[in-house]
Amino acid sequence: MQKRILGQGLEVSAIGLGCMGMSQAYGPNPGSRDDMIAVLRGAVDLGVTLFDTAEVYGPYVNEELVGEALAPVRDQVVIATKFGFRIGGEGLDSRPEHIREVVDASLRRLGTDVIDLLYQHRVDPDVPIEDVAGTVSALIADGKVRHFGLSEASAATIRRAHAVQPVTAVQSEYSLWTRDPEAEVLPVLGELGIGFVPFSPLGRGFLTGAIDTTTAFASDDMRNGLPRFTEENRAANAALIAHVTALAAAKDATPGQIALAWLLAQQPWIVPIPGTRRISRIEENLAAAELVLTSAELGELDALADGVQGERYSAAQFAQVDRG
């Protein structure tokens, strides 16, 4: 498996694994806990070294799952988790005392003595980012955390945080159909030497070609509440996936591999974290690191991606996204 370097010299596999879907968000999990442990350990065997979880996934149970699965190979992997939500309540909470409480609880659930990469899950407008970065800096000094990350943060917030505690990675949604970070965030990351970790790099499944206007989601699938997944917007975005599918066929690849190869081609410090519950899908995703797209192919994909229809989040979800 190819490796890439995020900020502060943190080396990880070129493609990581997002673990959220093993516990929530995309409808009932067809596998058991033992099945998911087998998938996580199988990912390690295939060369994955970056595993992404959060206290809010489940909540709590995803950290427990990841911790148990990776315990036998703890020294071979990078575990990323997140703080920032008020579990059991409403809204965000990045008060320094809360961050410390969350870290201690996450360490227990993960069954480890250090968190490799700790993200602020969403920027809290009520807590200065300097206070957040300073708290994480103290946790790093205490040996409880190794690296600091931000999620869905604006360029201005990234600069302010980085001035207090160097930021290793920023995590935000980025894919062929969600290109928001390109205008301001990616240039700042390149300037400051910070890595970028795109979540939902396969467009929450749309870019795999498995979703069309007839697809029905389970009642507890989060995509039911996302504007981009209305039947109208799925129809409007069909041209993009048709092109991706045709290009995949021409290159003896899958649509998902094309989407991941496009992301990897954007910058050498980009490490996507597609989520899955199947080892066969992990094998497919990892093969994308070997797929080369020509400049002409990348340009054609760029042109189609510029016309994607529908917002990626609802208004309520966007309210928790830092826009600077």
User: Which residues does the annotation mark as catalytic?
Assistant: 57
What span, in angstroms and rounded, lies between the C-alpha atoms of 180 and 15? 21
Helices 238-250/255-266 angle, 10° precision? 90
Structure tokens belonging to residue 72? 């036998």
**Distance, CA of 55 to chain centre:** 14
Q: Are strands 3-5 and 11-13 parallel, antiparallel or unpaired?
A: antiparallel
**Concatenated DSSP letters of 123-188:** --TTS-HHHHHHHHHHHHHTTSEEEEEEES--HHHHHHHHHHS-EEEEEEE-BTTB-GGGTTHHHH
User: ∠ at Cα 233 (288, 270), nearest 5°?
Assistant: 30
Nearest to 178 by CA among 318, 6, 287: 318
* Cβ–Cβ < 8 Å for 81, 48: no
